[in-house]
Structure 1
């Protein structure tokens, strides 16, 4: 493999690895955001049950629900942002894989062409030796 092909493949591999790490980090943050939403949903159910059992808690339920809706809205907005970020990271990773495969393909073609050229030179040299023997 030529030096330039090796360098391009190394750079492309680095980019792919970097994007894979970024995607993993986004997926982790997304899982945390989904967990936060699940916890909020569980908390509101607990508060509703408490309000049914306790009149004083029932009076405060509306204030709790207003705060809960704001927190849930923020968590859903975070999740929407993470979804978009994840989609962008997946697209970038797909593109980087495509570029890596192109470089690997070009490097392989270059290697095969070098072998073919070397074989042609060898054949030509043998042909020349054969002609000299016949002439000599």
Structure 2
């Protein structure tokens, strides 16, 4: 395997690693968003219960303040994960760029090798033609 192909494989591995990292970060963000939705659903269910049971209203303020704190923590977590996701996306884009650069360089080198081989073949054929032209021919022709 040539060094160009090795670089491309390493760059491909880097892309795969960063894709996995991004997928993990996205899954964590989605899980946090799901927890936020569940909390909102719990709050709605509690409010509906309090409407049917007036005695439960005594505990509503404590419950709501606890839910507010949990909501703030989840929103903060979502903001942090979103920033991390942005960084992971940027890193993935950089890895793709590096991989494409290596592929471009390898393609250019392959083209140059093919051109050099074609030039050598043409030179060999020209030399063969000159040799045959300079040979004395039998039969006087």
Q: Which residue of 2 aligns with 1:133?
A: 132
Q: Are positions 1:100 and 2:81 aligned together?
A: no
Q: Which residue of 1 aligns with 2:90?
A: 91
Partner Cα separation in structure 1 for residue 21 and residue 38 of structure 2: 26
Q: Higher Cα Rg: structure 1 or 2?
A: 2
SS in 2 for 1:80: helix
The number of residue pairs the alignment matches comes to 135
Q: Give ranges in structure 1 of 5+ residues lacking alignment.
A: none
Q: Is 1:39 matched with 2:38? A: yes
Rounded Cα–Cα distance in structure 1 between residues aligned with 2:127 and 2:50: 100
Inter-partner Cα distance in structure 2 for 1:92 and 1:135: 64
| TM-score, length basis structure 1 | 0.95
Partner deviation per Cα, 1:34-80 (whole Å, 9 max, x = no partner): 11000000011111111222122111111101000000000011111
- Work out the CA distance in 2 between the residues paired with 1:14 and 1:106: 18
Q: Give the 4+ runs in structure 1 shifted more than 6 A.
A: none
The offset of 1:28, in angstroms, is: 1.0
Q: Indicate the RMSD between aligned Cα atoms, in angstroms.
A: 1.0
Higher share of residues assigned helix: 1
Return the offset for 1:134: 1.5
Q: 5+ unaligned residues in a row in structure 2: which ranges? A: 136-141
CA distance in 2, matches of 1:98, 1:5: 16
Q: Give, in angstroms, the shift of residue 10 of structure 1.
A: 0.9
The answer as to whether partners of 1:26 and 1:86 remain within 8 angstroms in 2 is yes
* 2:55 alignment counterpart: 56
